[in-house]
């Protein structure tokens, strides 16, 4: 049976690179009717934190990457000691004492050529004569990464080790340990790096942000997963939009590209927009509620769900993230708005008391307050005043929304309603 593992360390959050590694392991297991094991590498007790563990497991669940088994290295110390003793008895390792008398277990590296057939990169050859003897158990009693990794993978019957190519240098050390312990060497597949848009390693500016942060920024799990899927793998036929259930039918680790992938935030935004446009408006409104409440744009008590749904439909096609809605549509939910300073300076510095008063009166007198009637009323006023429509459209928009861009002005007025439109316009009318 195919058995793969994702082995994060709870010394930090789950980032883009780790999420893709987890995704490709999960996909391979599901595609081959195998098992996906989550192994928490928490041997560093000082740096391992519960908040990081919680973030990692929550993020994996949010992405839809459910695991079949979970284990913790911190609960397996006796197993590492048992295997180290086995190597000591066989003469493949020795004890090294520190000046203070603490003992470490050291593995004797045999100088030989090591060949590994990587499922992504093909044959890789290593020269072990360049390696020093390897520490297995440190003087404080904790196992080193390479030793614990080999013991765990072997005793968990891991058939395929799928990990980032930053681990290629660990491979010869681990192969030697597999052989010395009499374990079967698993298949290896090293995933290419994910680079920033400018070609360097990912930084916070170019996307190296925790998965939980992407969630807080308003990205949908399915769009983020779809994008991660295409970082070094393609479903064929120039397809881009593909869900997990369909990817399972097509995925094979040997089809992963060995060249580095480029993380492009603009492309991720495009994916998120595609998924947001197709989302059921009611579900989208439900997902938006926590964002609106957190920003103080929406009351927690008895919010008008029907009204929210209408505003969601107004913006849905344009959104790149859920936060875009909060940024762009907040004026529909706030009692008081403050115009953007530059917008106020540009469009509300002139005295438009007459024009705003007349338009407010026109709207108040409308029998049918619908988008068509609102537009007709505006066009008639512009004609009577003998001015271009842009001379009034932009100032009215800023007065009503605080912003220079947004939905059509007449739709804005319709959804704000007569009373709020009148109040916001008259705020800019100078009292005589």
Within 156-234, where are the H helices? 171-181, 211-216, 221-229
Of 97, 115, 184, 204, the active-site residue reads: 204
What's CA 199's distance to the chain center, in Å? 20
What's CA 428's distance to the chain center, in Å? 43
- The two three-digit tokens of residue 11, written as one number: 């010394």
What CA–CA distance (Å, rounded) separates 368 from 359?
A: 15
- Asked if residue 321 lies in contact with residue 284, where contact means CB atoms within 8 angstroms, the answer is no
CA atoms within 13 A on the CB side of 395: 23
What's CA 124's distance to the chain center, in Å? 32
For 226, list phi and psi in degrees, rounded to 5.
-60, -45
The yes-or-no answer on residue 278 being catalytic is: no
- Rg, C-alpha atoms of the chain: 30
Burial 146-158 (b: 16+ CB within 10 A, else e): bbbbbbbbbebeb
- CB neighbours of 26 closer than 8 A, spacing ≥ 6? 4, 6, 36, 65, 66, 67
Pairing of strands 122-127, 35-40: unpaired
Q: Which of 295, 335, 292 is nearest to 311 (CA)?
A: 292
- List residues with catalytic annotation: 204
């Amino acid at each position: 049976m195919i058995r793969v593992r994702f082995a994060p360390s709870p010394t930090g959050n789950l980032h883009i690179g780790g999420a893709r590694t987890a995704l490709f392991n999960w996909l391979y297991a599901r595609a081959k009717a195998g098992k996906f094991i989550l192994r928490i590498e928490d041997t560093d007790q000082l740096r391992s934190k519960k908040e990081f563990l919680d973030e990692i497991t929550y993020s994996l669940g949010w992405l839809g990457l459910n695991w079949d088994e979970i284990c913790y290295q911190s609960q397996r110390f006796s197993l590492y000691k048992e295997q180290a003793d086995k190597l000591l008895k066989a003469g493949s390792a020795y004890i090294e004492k520190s000046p203070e008398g603490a003992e470490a277990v050291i593995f004797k590296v045999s100088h030989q050529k090591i060949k590994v057939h990587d499922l992504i990169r093909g044959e890789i050859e290593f020269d072990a004569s360049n390696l020093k003897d390897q520490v297995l158990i440190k003087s404080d009693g904790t196992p080193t990464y390479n030793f614990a990794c080999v013991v765990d993978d072997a005793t968990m019957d891991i058939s395929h080790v799928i990990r980032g190519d930053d681990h290629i240098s660990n491979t010869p050390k681990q192969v030697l340990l597999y052989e010395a312990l009499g374990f079967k060497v698993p298949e290896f597949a090293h995933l290419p790096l994910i680079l920033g848009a400018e070609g360097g390693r990912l930084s916070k500016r170019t996307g190296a942000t925790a998965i939980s942060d992407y969630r807080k920024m308003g990205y949908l799990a399915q769009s983020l997963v779809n994008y991660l899927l295409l970082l070094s793998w393609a479903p064929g036929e120039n397809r881009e939009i593909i869900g997990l259930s369909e990817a399972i039918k097509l995925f094979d680790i040997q089809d992963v590209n060995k060249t580095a992938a480029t993380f492009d935030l603009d492309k991720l935004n495009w994916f998120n927009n595609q998924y947001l446009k197709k989302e059921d408006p009611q579900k989208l409104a439900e997902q938006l509620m926590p964002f609106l409440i957190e920003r103080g744009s929406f009351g927690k008590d008895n919010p008008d769900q029907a009204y929210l749904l209408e505003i969601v439909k107004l913006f849905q096609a344009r959104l790149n993230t859920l936060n875009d809605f909060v940024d762009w549509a907040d004026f529909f939910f706030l009692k008081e708005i403050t115009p953007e300073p530059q917008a106020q300076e540009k469009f509300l510095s002139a005295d438009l008391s007459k024009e705003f008063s007349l338009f407010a009166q026109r709207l108040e007198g409308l029998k049918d307050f619908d988008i068509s009637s609102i537009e007709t009323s505006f066009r008639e006023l512009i004609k009577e005043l003998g001015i271009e429509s842009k001379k009034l459209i932009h100032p009215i928009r800023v007065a009503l929304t605080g912003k220079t861009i947004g939905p059509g002005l007449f739709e804005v007025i319709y959804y704000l309603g007569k009373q709020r439109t009148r109040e916001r316009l008259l705020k800019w009318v100078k009292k005589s």
